[in-house]
């Protein structure tokens, strides 16, 4: 529980996330075509490519700086709702971690919970609204619970990834109550939410990183 988490490991997480978004770009866009603007995959791929380029051009010295740079890049390069929401997630994580050179499992968990709070503040979504919240909130809860039970960060992130995947899948039968998908009413039922799918990729990347 007292393990130090370095900026390099967190940067690996971001790189893995960018890779998964690129791999799933067309799938994410297909999901979004059913209930949105059909641009989620291309927007997130463009944003994460820009974020990785920004990190490579000027490697951040601290975990907080890393997440803040990713967040600012997403806000400035991703259109629609995805940029502000995912950008806010990363920005809130970064500001919570601050300027310490390393972080710890409890600090990272607290930062993720703060990121969830930022998403709620920005998007006003809650449980079963069929949004990224439905994957992110269970993931944050699962990480907290695992760490409280004595798990190390790697195990905790695996629990979080599993919870995010379950939350993603649970959006399919939901009626959308937020965002563009909500305009469809009953027609939004039966479609997996693209934002929740991207959150599941984020947590999958975390579980695969060398924590």
The enclosing domain of 195 has a CATH number of 1.25.40.340
Predicted confidence (pLDDT) per residue in 98-115, tens digit: 999 999 999 999 999 999
Predicted confidence (pLDDT) per residue in 155-208, tens digit: 999 999 999 999 999 999 998 987 777 777 787 798 999 999 999 999 999 999
Helix, strand, or coil (residue 104) = strand
Closest CA to 147 of 114, 173, 124, 113: 113
Domain range enclosing 135? 4-208
Supply the pLDDT for residue 144.
Answer: 98
> How many residues would you count in the chain?
211
Predicted confidence (pLDDT) per residue in 125-146, tens digit: 999 999 999 999 999 999 999 9
Spatial distance between the Cα atoms of 103 and 162, rounded to a whole number of angstroms: 23
Find out whether 69 and 47 touch, Cβ atoms under 8 Å. no
Average pLDDT, the chain: 94
What are 128's two structure tokens?
């079963």
> Higher model confidence: residue 3 or residue 61?
61
Supply the pLDDT for residue 180.
Answer: 74
Q: Quick one: DSSP state of residue 211?
A: -
Element (H, E) at 198: helix 194-208
Supply the pLDDT for residue 145.
Answer: 98
Q: How confident is the model at residue 89 (pLDDT cuts 50, 70, 90)?
A: very high
> Higher model confidence: residue 167 or residue 35?
167
CA atoms within 13 A on the CB side of 141: 11
Q: How many C-beta atoms lie closer than 10 Å to residue 99's C-beta?
A: 10
Spatial distance between the Cα atoms of 14 and 18, rounded to a whole number of angstroms: 6
Question: Is the pLDDT at 86 greater than 50, yes or no?
Answer: yes
User: What global pTM score does this model have?
Assistant: 0.95
56: CB partners within 8 A, 6+ apart = none
Total domains, the chain: 1
Helix, strand, or coil (residue 118) = helix
Q: How confident is the model at residue 1 (pLDDT cuts 50, 70, 90)?
A: very low
């Amino acid at each position: 529980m007292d393990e130090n988490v370095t900026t390099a490991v967190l940067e690996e997480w971001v790189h893995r996330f960018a890779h998964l978004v690129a791999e799933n770009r067309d799938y994410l866009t297909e999901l979004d075509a059913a209930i949105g603007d059909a641009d989620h995959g291309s927007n997130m791929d463009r944003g994460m490519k820009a974020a990785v380029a920004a990190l490579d051009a000027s490697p951040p010295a601290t975990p907080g700086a890393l997440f803040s740079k990713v967040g600012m890049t997403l806000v400035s390069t991703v259109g629609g709702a995805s940029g502000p929401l995912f950008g806010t997630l990363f920005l809130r994580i970064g500001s919570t971690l601050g300027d310490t050179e390393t972080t710890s499992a409890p600090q990272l968990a607290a930062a993720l919970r703060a990121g969830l709070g930022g998403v709620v503040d920005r998007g006003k979504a809650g449980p079963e609204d069929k949004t990224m919240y439905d994957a992110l909130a269970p993931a944050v809860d699962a990480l907290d619970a695992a760490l409280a039970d004595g798990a190390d960060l790697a195990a905790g992130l695996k629990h979080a990834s599993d919870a995010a995947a379950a939350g993603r899948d649970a959006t399919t039968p939901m009626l959308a109550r937020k965002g563009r998908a909500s305009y469809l009413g009953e027609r939004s039922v039966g479609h997996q939410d693209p934002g929740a799918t991207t959150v599941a990729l984020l947590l999958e990347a975390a579980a695969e990183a060398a924590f």
